[in-house]
Amino acid sequence: MLAYATKRLLTLIPTLLAASLLIFLFIHLIPGDPAAVLLGDTATPEEIAALTARMGLDQPIWKQYGLWLGNVLQGDLGTSLFFREPVLSVIAEGAETSILLASMTMLWIVLIGIPVGVLSASFHGSWIDSLSSGLSMFAASVPTFWLGLYFILVFAVGLGWLPSSGFPSIFDEGGLANLRYLLLPSLTLAAPNAALIIRLVRAAMLDVQREDHVRTARAKGLSPARVVWKHVFRNALIAVVAAFGFTFAALVSEAVVTETVFSLPGVGRLVVQSILRRDYPVIQGVILVIVLLYLIINLLVDLAYAWLDPRISLA
């Protein structure tokens, strides 16, 4: 298992490097002089020249990449044009919101997605199955921002149960109760993804149910519940775990929209605002962090996969 983990870690690095190269090149794809772009419209020629020299923008591209990469590895992701602060600290400020939002969302996805998927498969062909399939496909067809706006309309404005925007930190006044600000946003994010998980769990369970070893399990006289959980679900989990990798990717994407709808001070909203403000260092930095996170999550998923399926690591 350790050998497998190491092997996977090693393949991560080239992909990360390649992605970082693309991100680095991003600045140079923007029309105009990179230094001018980075400093914005108000820059004087002297400032531009100074930045050019400091960043080595007059050097060959590959040297620049090296310089940039060196800085990144030391934690220097550049300076935000808008905030005039290091990019890393700007990102760190949004991290709390985004991490909490993602965690709550994953919680709903797992709590709703897995049981409903298992139930659908167990009652395959019944009305339970049809209903949940229909509802989940419907949920996957709804634009997240629309759902968010509707939730605000109904629960925040209409019923007044929950707040509609913002998120005070849980380290501030209010403590954990402030999490209620994340309730609607996390449910909004969870809906389409839970739908996907339901369908995947159901499909995986149905596939596994047909396999011979399930028949062997029944022939032992095991109770139906035990057969479902210990044999069918346990094997279906292998297929489902893979889905958590791209669920995370979907979450990151849609969090961008959801944070905008609910005005949450998270990294997603930061990305959008930075794009609109043309704050390129921040855009670069956030993309880098997100890609790194995504690759790590995928690695963890692969490891979980290997842990669940002995055929992989012990091959």
Which residue ranges make up the site for another protein (CB under 8 A)? 14-15, 18-19, 22, 26, 29-30, 134, 137-138, 140-146, 149-150, 153, 157, 196, 199-200, 203, 209, 211-213, 215-223, 231, 234-235, 238, 249-250, 252-254, 256-257, 260, 271-272, 275-276, 278, 283, 287, 290-291, 294-295, 298, 308-311, 314-315
Smallest gap from Cβ 275 to another protein, in A, equals 5
Q: Which residue has the tokens 């990798």?
A: 245
- Cβ proximity to another protein: between 10 and 29 the closer is 29
Smallest gap from Cβ 72 to another protein, in A, equals 16
Q: Which residue has the tokens 């842990």?
A: 307
Under a CB-based contact definition with an 8 Å cutoff, are residues 297 and 303 in contact? no
- Cβ proximity to another protein: between 67 and 287 the closer is 287
Total Cβ atoms within 10 A of residue 306: 20
- Cβ proximity to another protein: between 187 and 267 the closer is 267
- Cβ proximity to another protein: between 11 and 89 the closer is 11
Closest-CA residue to 198 (of 122, 120, 106): 120
Smallest gap from Cβ 222 to another protein, in A, equals 6
- Cβ proximity to another protein: between 140 and 179 the closer is 140
Smallest gap from Cβ 170 to another protein, in A, equals 26
- Cβ proximity to another protein: between 56 and 143 the closer is 143
3-state SS track over 211-266: CHHHHHHHHCCCCHHHHHHHHHHHHHHHHHHHHHHHHHHHHHHHHHHHHHHCCCCC
- Cβ proximity to another protein: between 49 and 217 the closer is 217
- Cβ proximity to another protein: between 50 and 249 the closer is 249
Smallest gap from Cβ 107 to another protein, in A, equals 20
Residue type, 67: L
Smallest gap from Cβ 219 to another protein, in A, equals 5
Q: What is the DSSP string of 58-79?
A: TS-HHHHHHHHHHHHHTT---B
Query: How many residues appear in the chain?
Result: 315
How far is 114 from 107, CA to CA, in rounded Å? 11
Counting beta carbons within 10 angstroms of the beta carbon of residue 310, is it exposed (0 to 12), middle (13 to 18) or buried (19 or more)?
A: exposed
User: Residue 86 carries which DSSP code?
Assistant: B
- The residues pairing with 86 across neighbouring beta strands, listed in sequence order, are 79
How far is 13 from 9, CA to CA, in rounded Å? 7
- Cβ proximity to another protein: between 73 and 225 the closer is 225
Determine what percent of the chain falls in helix, strand and coil, rounding each to the nearest 5: 80, 0, 20
Q: Angle at Cα 193 formed by Cα 23 and Cα 177, nearest 5°? A: 95
User: Could you tell me the two tokens for 47?
Assistant: 């400032």
- In angstroms and rounded to an integer, the radius of gyration of the C-alpha atoms of the chain is 24
Smallest gap from Cβ 81 to another protein, in A, equals 14
Smallest gap from Cβ 55 to another protein, in A, equals 20
Smallest gap from Cβ 175 to another protein, in A, equals 30
